[in-house]
Amino acid sequence: MSYTHQRSLIRHAITTALTGQTVAGANVYSTRKLPQQSIRGPGITVYCLKDETDADSRNRTAGSTRELWRTLDVTIEGWLRGVGLGDNPDDALDAFDLQIEQVLHADETFGGVCGNSLLMGTEFEVYEEGDKAIGWLSVSLKVWFNTLAPDDQDTSGPALNQVSATWGVNGQTIPTTDNASDLVTGLQSDPAPVLTEEIY
pLDDT tens profile 60-115:
776 778 889 999 999 999 999 887 788 899 999 999 999 999 999 999 999 999 99
Helix (H), strand (E) counts: the chain: 2, 9
Domains (range + CATH), the chain:
6-148 (3.30.2000.10), 159-199 (no CATH)
Summarize pLDDT for 167-181 with one digit per residue, the tens: 444 445 445 455 454
Q: What is the pTM of this model?
A: 0.71
Whether the Cβ atoms of residue 67 and residue 60 lie closer than 8 Å to each other:
yes
Q: Which residues contact 124 (CB under 8 A, 6 or more apart)?
A: 90, 93, 97, 135, 136, 137
List, in sequence order, every residue forming a beta bridge with 47; answer none if it has no partner: 75
* Whether the predicted pLDDT of 29 surpasses 80: yes
Distance CA 128, CA 113 (A): 38
What lies within 8 Å, CB to CB, of 162 at 6+ separation is: 183, 184, 185, 186, 187
Map residue 157 onto helix, strand or coil.
coil
- Is the pLDDT assigned to residue 135 strictly greater than 60? yes
